[in-house]
Amino acid sequence: MDEPFALFERVVRMAHKVTEARSVPIGGLHPFDQRDIHPKLPPVVKQLFDDSHFAQATFEAYKFVDKEVQRFSKSTESGFKVMMQAFAVENPLIRLTPLATPSEKDEQKGFQFLFAGSVLAIRNPRGHKHSLVDSPDQCLDHLSLASLLLRRLDDAGFR
């Protein structure tokens, strides 16, 4: 009884290798290299992507962004709350610009909303829905935005 089930399980576990697009084109660059995904994302993100767990790869990347903001801001909050606190124009915990001109204040506020919005719109659904499925391209788009956010922290001297 166990032998047919074991065979079935093995076939099912291998099916993604013949039904999903290859994450690395033959003779080509890995999609992370093509998209210039931030190299400091945890290795598990790339492993999940390579194993076709695209929604989980996105979720792990945004948990990392959240933890980095939490660490740099020295806040105990997480998610939307930490993003709104950390990047506030008035008394920011993380200053991305000098905040001397209206344009610099607008940029700070814009990134406040990009960080907070990415948590609400991208990370949270993947943390609360158990059957969410992303395509490879959706995942790469999400990881590109996470990379932009991490690079903005880099540019401000926080990494």
Tens-place pLDDT, residues 80-123? 999 999 999 999 999 999 999 999 999 999 999 999 999 999 99
Residue 4: per-residue pLDDT:
78
Residue 128: per-residue pLDDT:
86
The tens digit of pLDDT for each residue in 43-81 reads 999 999 999 999 999 999 999 999 999 999 999 999 999
User: Is 64:45 a contact under the CB 8 Å cutoff?
Assistant: yes
The structure tokens listed for 5 are 């089930």
Residue 7: per-residue pLDDT:
76
The structure tokens listed for 63 are 């948990």
User: Is 112:87 a contact under the CB 8 Å cutoff?
Assistant: yes
**Angle ∠(127,53,33) on CA atoms, nearest 5:** 110
Question: Phi/psi at 142 (nearest 5 deg)?
Answer: -65, -40
Average pLDDT, rounded, for the chain: 91
pTM of the full structure? 0.82
Residue 44: per-residue pLDDT:
98
CA pair distance 156, 151, nearest whole angstrom: 9
